[in-house]
Amino acid sequence: MSFKEERKVCSKHQLEITTIDLKQSTAKEDKYLCIKCLIEKIDIQNIALMDETQIMIKEMKSEQQTLKIKENQIRIENLKQIECLIKQFKVQIEDVIDKILINIHSRVQTIEQDLEEYDSKSKIYKFEDKVEILSKHSSFILEFSI
Ligand SMILES: [Zn+2]
């Protein structure tokens, strides 16, 4: 096996060897580098391949989208709860207003009935009865005579 064939592919990443570390202090097994080996040597956290970067961008976008959907779902749920509470409150207020209106209407009816009864009774009374009623209201007689 020739040297070229022996060192063609990196054993760690199974990628083609493109670079050789010529530093004397570097161990023999670490001298032959594929692109990933090279990246690891430079700064593993801040260097990535194009393909990897594109995948990372895709994942980031998908994560942001998921987060946005979740946030909006929570907002919708909160608003729906508020809407439901306000609707309940509206029904309660309408109930109270209805009761007040019924009460006012019933009072008006009672007063109107009183008036009608008074009117019809006064027609039935004879003059003598009216004199009788007048004599019961002594204060009125006094006021009138002055
Ligand atoms: Zn490698």
Residue extents of the structural domains in the chain: 8-47
Q: Where are the beta strands (DSSP E) in the chain?
A: 17-20, 32-34
Ligand 1 centroid from CA 46, angstroms: 17
Tell how far the Cα of 8 is from the centroid of ligand 1, in angstroms.
11
**Could you tell me the distance, in angstroms and rounded to a whole number, from the CA of residue 135 to the centre of ligand 1?**
125
Cα 15 to middle of ligand 1, angstroms: 6
Rounded CA separation 18/34 (Å): 5
pLDDT, residue 8, reads 86
d(CA 105, CA 16): 95
pTM: 0.45
Give the residues of the chain that fall short of pLDDT 70: 1-7, 44-45, 140-146
What is residue 64's predicted lDDT score, i.e. its pLDDT? Answer: 97
**Which candidate, 13, 53, 3, places its Cα nearest to that of 35?**
13
Chain centre to alpha carbon of residue 117:
59
Distance between Cα 61 and ligand 1 center (Å): 29
The predicted pLDDT at position 100 comes to 97
Distance from Cα 127 to the centre of ligand 1, integer Å: 128
Cα-to-centroid distance, 58 and ligand 1 (Å): 25
Q: How far is the CA of 37 from the centre of ligand 1 (A)?
A: 4
- The pLDDT assigned to 141 comes to 66
Residue 34 CA to ligand 1 center (angstroms) comes to 4
Q: What is the pLDDT of residue 45?
A: 66
Phi, psi of 12 (to 5 degrees): -80, -45
C-alpha 59 – ligand 1 centre gap (Å): 24
pLDDT for residue 146: 57
